[in-house]
Chains A and B, each alone.
Chain A
Amino acid sequence: MPKKLPSFWEAIEEKGYSRRDFLRYCSIAAAMAGIEAAGLPKVVRAFEKKSRPPVIWLHFQECTCCSESFIRSSHPIVADVILDYLSLDYTETLQAAAGHQAEKCLQDTIKNSRGEYILLVEGSIPAGNDGIFCMIGGRSAEQIFKEAAQDAGTIIAWGSCASNGCVQSAKPNPTNATPIHKLTSKPVIKVPGCPPIADVMTGVITHLLVYGNVQQLDSQGRPKEFYSRRVHDTCYRRPYYDAGLFVESFDDENARKGYCLYKMGCKGPVTYNACAVTKWNEGTSFPIQSGHGCIGCSEDNFWDNGPFYRHLPNFPGFGIESTADTIGTTLGVATAAGIAAHAVATNIRKKKLIDGQKERALKDKDLNGDEGGKE
């Protein structure tokens, strides 16, 4: 029989945290999830009363950077609470159990908490060759995921791999790496990023715990709280963009002045993420602040979207180093040349036409003149 799991408060109290620490955690979590001050009691109540949902954290084709990011959440208690007490029942990287024990944990959680547990998936799933590219405990990633997803209460795709395939699905995608939403009919909350921001991850979880499964998602399945605005629109270098002041090369005077990195291929204008707002590593910095353009890691297909250091990508089917502009210019020049040649030909032809007409007219005039003379 499944026992009632202890709540967050009960769990961290047991670990020796004070009430003050707990409330501090609650307010940070609330702020991260974008909950206003008046909603704080609700957060506190949720963490006091609600039993912690069991969590299964699956790792497939990934580099564990999402986990690495996650354990660096701004507030130490966040990591403590979530990793020790979110009731993380199964996660390859951090669990104590191994081998058959670990697999049993997974099976038990699925069996005992049907429809309740949170399924966090890190990494894409290789759908090619019956999934032999990623096997855990003798089963393919796809089998494991489908089984776990079937009874999950909530499914969250951690990071770009699970959300959109990331580097594994870049052309030519040899393992047929597939984002998880394509393998389940259930709704998936996508938290893309390579890795996603730690505080965004905690924010998503907090929202989930406080409000249940009601994240407001955008058209691509990402929580609007964190992915509704472009990096570009929240960037502190935006005024330089509007003023038309750009870095021309990474070591020029403009780079030193901290001008806009648009011409260096910054993908901020096409990337939806919270980097410029929450920043990374306890709000220390984010790529653009460190002088490097955004590479758009939370966007679909970002590995195939052309070079990181050029804004306009290679045009598909025309070889490397050919952008839409090079092709367009070539076509433009060719068209101009064609028009010029055509105009010359037309003029030659028209001259003949006019000459012919003149001749005929003159002939008519002569004939008319003769007739006139007779009368």
Chain B
Amino acid sequence: MTEFNSPVFRRIYVWEFPVRIYHWLNATCVILLIITGYLIGNPQRIFYANEAYQQYWFGTVRFTHFVTAFIFFFNFAARCYWGFVGNSFARWTNFIPHKKSQWKKIVEVLRIDILQTTPSKHTDIGHNPLAGLIYFLSFLVFAFQSITGFALYAANSTSLLPKFFTWIVPLMGGDFAVRQWHHAFMWFFILFTMVHVYLVFYHDYIEGRGTTSSMVGGWKFEKDEELKRD
């Protein structure tokens, strides 16, 4: 006897290990980068009782920012690679809406999220097309932030990688503008994190398919009848 008249759910392995590692490494990096980046832009008045030779805290904050940025960049690059070799849920086709059905779905998800309409029976197993599109746009921001960040970093670095990005400086009209935009886009990450976390909880809450835990274990749950329909 079932308490509720629920359909039978089946387990589907959606997020492969590299995707999950990418996600959590990225989340950690983004949070660290936001905190250290904010501090670099707005240094707080702490440890003013000490002399300069007794401390290096601001230097450490910057160092953390730079090291995290390198990890963030290579992690991002690895995810781009996985977009071509990963499973069907990780493919780049999920992120760039190129089919009419995807655009239709985007409108539907917008209605679910904003107007709180009831989801139709058929839900996407991986990313819904709206989420995919937003992730694609955030990938563009990742790229922008990497380019501007490395371009700024190149001035105090001897390593090779940052030098590949200095072309952006004359294009934007000097370090000043580069710094300003690099700083402004920090707010994208803050807003993205807020909305992203909430929407994951929201979809998990209304769909009940284990959206939240799927990024830990990789499993999602789908109604049997839905799978048969595909």
For B42-66 the 0/1 string (1 means CB < 8 A from A) is 1101111011111111110110000
Instruction: Confirm or deny: A277 has a beta carbon within 8 angstroms of a beta carbon on chain B.
Output: no
Cβ distance B77 to chain A, nearest Cβ, rounded Å: 24
Instruction: Confirm or deny: B110 has a beta carbon within 8 angstroms of a beta carbon on chain A.
Output: no
Verify B41–A312 contact, CB threshold 8 A. Answer: yes
Identify B175's interface contact among A246, A299, A346, A361, CB under 8 A. A299
For the complex, give the distance between the alpha carbons of A220 and B177 in Å. 14
Instruction: Confirm or deny: B167 has a beta carbon within 8 angstroms of a beta carbon on chain A.
Output: yes
Question: Smallest CB-CB separation from B178: which chain A residue?
Answer: A270
Q: Which of B25-80 contact A (CB under 8 A)?
A: 41-43, 45-48, 50-59, 61-62
Q: Which of A335-372 contact B (CB under 8 A)?
A: 335-336, 339, 342-343, 345-346, 349-350, 357-358, 360-361, 364-365, 368
Chain B residues in 8 Å Cβ range of A301: 173-174, 176-177
Instruction: Confirm or deny: B191 has a beta carbon within 8 angstroms of a beta carbon on chain A.
Output: yes
Instruction: Confirm or deny: A133 has a beta carbon within 8 angstroms of a beta carbon on chain B.
Output: no
What's the interface size class on B, roughly? 35 or more
Instruction: Confirm or deny: A47 has a beta carbon within 8 angstroms of a beta carbon on chain B.
Output: no
Question: Smallest CB-CB separation from B186: which chain A residue?
Answer: A328
For the complex, give the distance between the alpha carbons of A305 and B183 in Å. 14
Chain B residues in 8 Å Cβ range of A360: 5
Chain B residues in 8 Å Cβ range of A335: 191, 194-195
Chain A binder among B11-19, B122-130, B198-206 = B198-206
Chain A residues in 8 Å Cβ range of B156: 230, 233
What's the interface size class on A, roughly? 35 or more
Verify A324–B170 contact, CB threshold 8 A. Answer: no
Instruction: Confirm or deny: A271 has a beta carbon within 8 angstroms of a beta carbon on chain B.
Output: yes
Verify B184–A243 contact, CB threshold 8 A. Answer: no
Question: Smallest CB-CB separation from B54: which chain A residue?
Answer: A243
Verify A312–B183 contact, CB threshold 8 A. Answer: yes
For the complex, give the distance between the alpha carbons of A244 and B155 in Å. 20
Instruction: Confirm or deny: B23 has a beta carbon within 8 angstroms of a beta carbon on chain A.
Output: no
Verify A270–B58 contact, CB threshold 8 A. Answer: no
Cβ distance B27 to chain A, nearest Cβ, rounded Å: 18
Instruction: Confirm or deny: B166 has a beta carbon within 8 angstroms of a beta carbon on chain A.
Output: yes
Verify A339–B175 contact, CB threshold 8 A. Answer: no
Instruction: Confirm or deny: A313 has a beta carbon within 8 angstroms of a beta carbon on chain B.
Output: yes
Known: A270-B176, A313-B180. A244 touches B57 (CB 8 A): yes
Verify A342–B202 contact, CB threshold 8 A. Answer: yes
Verify B58–A324 contact, CB threshold 8 A. Answer: no
Question: Smallest CB-CB separation from A345: which chain B residue?
Answer: B116
Residues of A at the B interface (CB closer than 8 Å) are 219-220, 229-230, 233, 239-246, 248, 254, 262-263, 267, 269-272, 296, 299-302, 305, 311-313, 315, 324-325, 327-328, 331-332, 335-336, 339, 342-343, 345-346, 349-350, 357-358, 360-361, 364-365, 368
Q: Can you show 24 pairs from A to B with CB atoms below 8 A apart?
A: A219-B169, A219-B170, A233-B155, A243-B53, A244-B61, A245-B52, A246-B45, A269-B175, A270-B175, A270-B179, A271-B175, A272-B155, A299-B174, A299-B175, A301-B174, A312-B41, A324-B187, A328-B187, A331-B191, A335-B195, A349-B116, A350-B206, A357-B4, A368-B1
Interface pairs A-B: 3 shortest CB-CB: A328-B187, A244-B58, A242-B59
